């Protein structure tokens, strides 16, 4: 089956944006709402409330991840190479759950080693992390993984993985509909799931970010990703008619959609155009990026550069460990070093942790999944050299 290395790089860039966003939120000028100040009075707003926000847009990256997962996971169904449901589930558990479990245990261990007292000199978000000690009930909730629970206690970014796993378990059943029908069924199905989730969220109390209703909403973007995969030839054909400045214009349009939430942040027109906080606007922009990456020879060549491909490989581990690294160093070095230096140190160390996790945890987990589903057959090197459609999030 064809491997789309460009999409690996897109996933890597999105994971990098998540990390940059989390690290910048350490600083009050970034975390505070300053949208009422003009660009002239507060130049930092050019970075916060324009399309440049895409550089550190964590939630936007989440939508990109779900689209990419839907795209990649759907490919075997379109080529009649899908495995049995049991083998599919085993691979997803090995791919997502085992690295998650190791990261969870390391997060709990590091919290117990370095935590002394609640932080008071950072933003409210970071001051309130790791303040509650581990307990058996919370750990059991994390180990069960797909329930509705507080995922911010140990590694605050785990909530998207809960949705990823839930949707992955249902995805083969969704694909039965997508394969048998056209976009005229798939797109309305995605909209119904999203709108239905929004209506239910308005009428039911949802305590945590892992509530089951919002999984329906995020499942809609898996469907959009699958539709992009199904109609990629037609979409590439349409894109091929664009040349020169038109390609750049398309990317600019995509960027504006992708970061639309932040353009004119807080203005009334957002209420009309952005249900679910603008996720569908972001999905349009992300879809444009995906199709452009697959269709533009020039952009494809740039995305296949080795540093970006490596970033794509370690993207899941980078996502899992960057907050653990940052929180550990903040608690360990707070008062000893300037916050800026701690953040820089954590930024560099996160890449090292991501690479170590990729080679010593992710790849063995992938091999284990292939061994368990192949009755002991040794997988080829090529078969384990990728992200296999796993999502990362903010």
The pLDDT of residue 338? 95
The pLDDT of residue 107? 97
The pLDDT of residue 278? 87
Please check whether residue 386 is in contact with residue 3, taking contact to mean a CB–CB distance below 8 angstroms: yes
d(CA 64, CA 70) in angstroms, rounded, equals 10
d(CA 85, CA 173) in angstroms, rounded, equals 10
The pLDDT of residue 1? 62
Q: Compute mean pLDDT per 10 residues along the chain, 394 residues long, and list them.
A: 87 98 96 92 94 96 97 94 91 96 97 93 94 94 92 94 96 96 96 92 81 94 98 93 88 95 80 74 96 93 96 98 98 93 98 98 96 68 47 53
Among 350, 349, 362, CA closest to 316: 362
- 0.75 exceeded by pTM: yes
Ordered by start, the domain boundaries in the chain are 5-384
d(CA 386, CA 371) in angstroms, rounded, equals 16
The pLDDT of residue 28? 94
The pLDDT of residue 357? 98
């Amino acid at each position: 089956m064809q491997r789309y290395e460009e999409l690996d790089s897109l996933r890597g860039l999105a994971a990098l944006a998540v990390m940059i966003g989390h690290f910048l939120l350490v600083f009050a000028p970034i975390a505070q709402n300053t949208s009422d100040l003009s660009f002239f009075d507060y130049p930092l707003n050019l970075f916060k409330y324009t399309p440049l926000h895409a550089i550190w847009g964590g939630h936007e990256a989440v939508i990109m991840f779900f689209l990419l997962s839907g795209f990649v996971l759907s490919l075997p169904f379109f080529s009649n190479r899908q495995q049995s449901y049991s083998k599919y589930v085993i691979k997803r558990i090995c791919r997502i759950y085992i690295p998650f479990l190791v990261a969870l245990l390391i997060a709990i261990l590091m919290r117990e080693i370095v935590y002394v007292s609640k932080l008071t000199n950072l933003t409210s978000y970071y001051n309130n992390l790791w303040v509650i000690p581990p307990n058996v009930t919370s750990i059991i909730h994390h180990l069960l993984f797909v329930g509705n629970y507080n995922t911010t206690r140990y590694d605050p970014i785990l909530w998207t993985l809960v949705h990823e796993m839930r949707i992955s378990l249902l995805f083969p059943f969704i694909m039965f509909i997508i394969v048998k029908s056209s976009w005229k069924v798939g797109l309305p199905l995605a909209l119904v799931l999203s709108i239905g989730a929004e209506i239910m969220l308005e009428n039911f109390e949802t305590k945590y970010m892992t509530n089951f209703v919002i999984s329906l909403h995020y499942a809609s973007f898996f469907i959009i990703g699958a539709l992009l995969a199904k109609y990629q030839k037609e979409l590439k054909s349409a894109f091929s008619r664009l040349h020169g400045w038109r390609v750049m214009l398309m990317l600019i349009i995509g960027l504006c959609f992708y970061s639309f939430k932040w353009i004119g942040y807080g203005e009334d027109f957002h209420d009309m155009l952005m249900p679910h906080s603008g996720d569908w606007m972001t999905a349009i922009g992300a879809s444009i990026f995906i199709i452009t990456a697959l269709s533009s020879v020039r952009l494809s060549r740039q995305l296949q550069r080795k540093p970006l491909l490596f970033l794509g490989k370690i993207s899941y581990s980078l996502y899992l460990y960057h907050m653990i690294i940052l929180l550990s160093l903040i608690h360990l070095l707070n008062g000893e070093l300037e916050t800026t230096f701690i953040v820089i140190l954590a930024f560099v160390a996160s890449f090292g942790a991501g690479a170590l996790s990729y080679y010593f945890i992710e790849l063995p987990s992938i091999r284990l999944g292939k061994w368990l589903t192949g009755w002991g057959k040794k997988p080829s090197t090529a078969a384990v050299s990728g992200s296999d459609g796993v999502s990362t999030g903010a």
